[in-house]
Amino acid sequence: MQDAVLAMLAKEPSHGYVLRARLRQSLGPLGESMNPGQIYVTLSRLEKAGLVVCERADGLPERPDRKVYALTPAGQQRVTAWLTEVGWPKPDQAEFHLKLVAAAAARLADPVELVAAQRRELLRRLREVQQAILAEPAGSKALLLLEGVVLRLQADLRWLEACERAWSGADDPRVDDSRVDDSRADDLRANDLRADDRVEGA
């Protein structure tokens, strides 16, 4: 979010409300839930970090929405670094996977039921995005973003399908071997830590 706001200032200094409008436009319906004040919170954080400076427009009463923001050289550098960065959000499968393993091991719940519930949830989300896409006018930039969300959800749904197939066969007595379960749980503990790292980083 911070990086995106900085990058938007790279073209020219800008009012906060203009930035907000541009964000809304790019995000389409996904930006609707954005808090109206959020842009100013972000800008003030950036100002404190010395990445943007705030210039007051001349001869006008002092109001937050009259402020014009501009990049500092440090902010400029940060934008360049951001653009060349190839980091990518990591998928969030480990937690759900562990939920299934734990539920099966402790017989807390039927993993197949958990998968089905999760699937219903994702399908509802997919439906929302899908309807947003259909409501979006043709040529809107936000369509591409929505398409990305749909594809991600589709991928997740397909993974859930694979989970369902695997866990439907889990009643097989061979899999119900406790030793196997333990070793698998050990393996997954390591994953657990990495997953926690990621959650904090986001």
**Binding interface with another protein (CB under 8 A):** 1, 27, 29-34, 116, 119-120, 123-134, 145, 147, 149-150, 153-154, 157-158, 161, 202
Between 97 and 125, whose beta carbon lies closer to another protein? 125
Question: What's the CA gap between 29 and 31, in Å, rounded?
Answer: 5
Positive or negative, the Cα torsion across 123, 93, 152, 31? Answer: positive
Question: Which tokens belong to 156?
Answer: 């997740």
Both tokens assigned to 123: 């399908």
Provide, rounded to whole angstroms, the least separation between the CB of residue 151 and another protein. 8
Cβ proximity to another protein, 71 vs 142, nearer residue: 142
Nearer to another protein, 180 or 199 (CB): 199
**In terms of CB distance, is 34 or 102 closer to another protein?**
34
Q: How far is the CB of 60 from another protein (least distance, A)?
A: 31
Closest distance to another protein from the beta carbon of 154 (Å): 5
Rg (C-alpha) for the chain, rounded Å, is: 23
Kindly state the smallest distance separating residue 108's Cβ from another protein, in Å.
Answer: 21
Tokens of 7: 């990058």
The distance between the two most distant Cα atoms of the chain, rounded to a whole number of Å, is 80
Phi/psi-derived region of residue 62, left when phi > 0, alpha when psi is between -120 and 50, beta in every other case: beta
